[in-house]
Amino acid sequence: MKRRILIFIFMLIFLGLSLERVYPYWIWTPKTGKWVNPKTTVRPSPKEQFDFAKSLFDIKSYEEAKREFKKNLRAYPKSAEAADSQYYLGLIEETQGDLYKAYQEYQKVIDKYPFSERIAEINEREYKIAEAFMSGAKPKTLGATLSGENPSLEIFTKIVENAPYGPLAAKAQYKLGLVLKGLRLYYEAEEAFSKVVTNYPESEWVQAAKFQIASTRAKLSKSPDYDQGATKEAKEKFEEFVKNNPDLKLSEEAEKNIQELKEKEAQTNYNIARFYEKQKDYQAARIYYNDIMDNHPASIWAARSLERIKIMEKVK
């Protein structure tokens, strides 16, 4: 008898412990007359579901908040609260430091809920994220970059696509050019800067873009596969910039670039002259040497050209 009582008591204790473990996952609801799992249960309206998720966000229970916001998206995808739920998914990722994931979640609001009242704010948040990557921030999300490129390329491009005539478009287009230039994609950078000038002619970024166009031309003139025309084009673009913006601070840097390009142009012509001289085509060599002395008299290459002319005269 005592043995049966002990077994019964043991079973009650075991069941009690089991119920204690189960309780957090299953709750009896008198309204429905069913046991429900609160992890999968959705509240009766999108507002109630959103408010519950937001309350978790407010106390910084971010993982639980994400789960509840996602439930709102699944259960009420057409509701106004769905757009706000998607926004908060981005805000949570940004708060937790995963900037690329935050951008992806924010972009879903624009793609799926284009009439959301948060679009302008989201564009600003995406712009700040792009600037962070431009300044050296590293993405945490696996596969966040394309071919190892800076994620800001994708984000600045998307900002322009989101609102091509919005308040951030010209600035984002200009920054896109800077990122491409930093990656030494000079042709692509020049195209990006040119779009600032063409698409946003009244923008405050136009003059800076014109300077950068000249600068990318100068960079191209220094690349191994450049042609001589690149140096000339860069110099002409810098000269045009200085002419149109004599008081702009960038004009000082433009002047320095002009002098460097003139020196490079003179050196290139000197090398051509030397080539003709070695081929004993003294007439062609003299044309290039004289051109250097006429157009670049202050250059070291002018003095060297004069020396070569004197040497050629002795040879003849």
CA distances from 80 to 49, 76, 91, 152, 252 (A): 12, 9, 17, 30, 53
Q: What is the pLDDT of residue 35?
A: 46
Instruction: Kindly state the tokens that stand for 97.
Output: 């430091």
One DSSP character per residue, 33-101 reads: TEEE-TTT---SSHHHHHHHHHHHHHTT-HHHHHHHHHHHHHH-TTSHHHHHHHHHHHHHHHHTT-HHH
pLDDT along the chain (316 residues), means of 10: 54 47 46 52 89 94 95 92 96 95 96 93 96 87 59 95 93 94 90 94 90 81 57 62 59 61 70 75 74 75 77 71
Query: Measured between alpha carbons, how far is 314 from 271 in angstroms, rounded to an integer?
Result: 20
Residue 13 lies in a domain: no
How far, in Å, CA of 269 to CA of 107, rounded?
A: 52
In whole angstroms, what is the distance from residue 205 CA to residue 200 CA? 8
- pLDDT for 103 equals 96
DSSP H or E run through 238:
helix 228-244
Whether 180 is covered by a domain: the verdict is: yes
- Report the CATH number at residue 236: 1.25.40.10
Question: So what's the pLDDT on residue 305?
Answer: 75
Q: Is residue 221 part of a domain?
A: yes
The pLDDT score that the predictor gives to residue 246 is 59
What CA–CA distance (Å, rounded) separates 51 from 208?
47
- The total of structural domains in the chain comes to 1
For 13-52, how does the pLDDT look when each residue is reduced to its tens digit (9 = 90+)? 444 444 444 444 544 444 445 444 566 688 899 999 999 9
Which structural domain, as residue segments, surrounds residue 176? Answer: 168-248
Please report whether residue 4 resides in a domain.
no
As given in the structure block, the two tokens for residue 94 are 């940004």
Report in angstroms the alpha-carbon separations of 170 from 6, 48, 193, 199, 260. 81, 40, 10, 8, 30
Domain contains 215: yes
According to the model, what pLDDT value does residue 40 have?
63
Q: Does residue 30 belong to any structural domain of this protein?
A: no
Which tens digit of pLDDT belongs to each residue from 167-181?
A: 999 999 999 999 998
Tell me, what's the pLDDT at 215?
81
27 membership: H or E segment, kind and range: strand 27-29
**pLDDT of 212:** 85
How many Å apart are CA 315 and CA 311, to the nearest integer?
A: 6
Contacts of 106 (CB under 8 A, 6+ apart): 87, 90, 122, 125, 126
Q: What is the phi/psi pair of residue 38, to 5°?
A: -65, -20
Residue 175 belongs to a domain: yes
* Residue 196 within a domain: yes
